Amino acid sequence: MGYQVKQSDFNDAVNRYVRDYERAMVNSSPYEYKGMMHSEILMICTLAIELGVEQIIESGRARGQSTELIARFIDGRSIEFHSIDCNENEDSVIAEKRLTGLPVKLHYAESFELFPLLINKKKTLAVIDGPKGARMWKLGGYLLEHPYIKGVCFHDCYKGSPMRKIVDKHNPLLSDDVDYVKRYKHLDNECWAGAGFKPYEYGSYAGTLAFIGTDHNV
């Protein structure tokens, strides 16, 4: 796969975007249970800029924690943002309220069906937080073969999980890297207060984001 930057070099690159992300945090809604950690979302934001993507497509929105932070971070940048969720429920009501007025297009659809239509010949970073398990890799594996996908972020890749065993075969960048955690865990203080579990309870620092890049030259 492409974007074969060393984890240590990526960790250095992330530091260039911390201040912009912290500004997004200041203006964001309080942390919502079920959401990604700030250090994980910062990784997505960094990848979007470093890869020079034209759009981000997120699968799995829940209460919109990652969606809001990404939208606030890219506001004013030339990046489109689409967020897909398959359900309209209590979580979606919360998400819609917190995302009102932000630069993100909300979709209610099946990701397997809508994703290919949204890519539309634009350099794309995919973020998958749902579906989970085997269906997550089925979607991600398909996207990694798409010529306009620059890379895929998979959530819930903590050590020992089935997804971690899969992504580890593809030289991923990981948000539970020891140095990455040391440098950026300070962003997560409010997250741990409402997370419902403790750091390293499941083997990794948190849920863990894994990124696999492609070598498509578009």
Nearest residue to 29 via CA among 124, 101, 107: 101
**Per-residue pLDDT, 2:** 53
Structure token pair of residue 118: 């949204």
| Size of the chain, expressed as the number of residues it contains | 218
In contact, 56 and 78? CB cutoff 8 Å: no
Q: What is the pLDDT along the chain (218 residues), one digit of tens a residue?
A: 456 789 999 999 999 999 999 999 999 999 987 789 999 999 999 999 999 999 999 999 999 999 999 999 999 999 999 999 998 888 999 999 999 999 999 999 999 999 999 999 999 999 999 999 999 999 999 999 999 999 999 999 999 999 999 999 999 999 999 999 999 999 999 999 878 889 999 899 999 999 999 988 77
Structure token pair of residue 6: 């060393």
DSSP line for 127-160 = EE-SS-HHHHHHHHHHHHTSTTEEEEEEE---TT
- Mention every residue, 6+ apart, whose C-beta is less than 8 A from residue 44: 56, 66, 70, 125, 127, 153, 209
Burial (CB < 10 A; 0-12, 13-18, 19+), residue 29, is middle
Domains annotated for the chain, with CATH where assigned, are 7-213 (3.40.50.150)
pTM of the model as a whole = 0.96
